[in-house]
Structure 1
């Protein structure tokens, strides 16, 4: 019998100035478009999914990228 691995994806809440953060992220990852980085409050999951696809990275990797961007723009 095959079992599925259960894991919890880290949820993330965008804080601070997303405009500055998205500009920083586009500088670090030029493949990200304005559409990829469009953010509506409470819809972090959609933002992360778009970034996962564009960057070909896993959820946790994208969350870490966003967190680093947040720290750089403080």
Structure 2
């Protein structure tokens, strides 16, 4: 999978991510731009979760939506 494919996937799934984590802003989503570690960090920041909890949430989301980074 090349960089363009990853970016395209992210655009498709960005709305689903915002449904899951409603506290994430459009600016947050721009910063994240398909980077898993950035998503985990923003979830930690916005929701006050531990890194492990945020990572687990992202893993669960990836599984439900069959999302590949």
TM-score normalised by length of structure 2:
0.58
1:23 and 2:15 are equivalent in the alignment: yes
Q: CA RMSD in A?
A: 2.7
1:54 and 2:51 are equivalent in the alignment: no
Deviation at residue 34 of structure 1 after TM alignment: 2.6
Gaps of 5+ in 1: 1-14
Q: Which has the higher contact order (CA 8 A, sep 6+)?
A: 1
- CA deviations over 1:3-42 (Å, ceiling 9, x no partner): xxxxxxxxxxxx8x3334432221122111233234357x
Larger Rg: 1
Question: Could you tell me how far apart the structure 1 residues matched to 2:39 and 2:20 are?
Answer: 17
Question: Which one has the bigger helix percentage?
Answer: 2
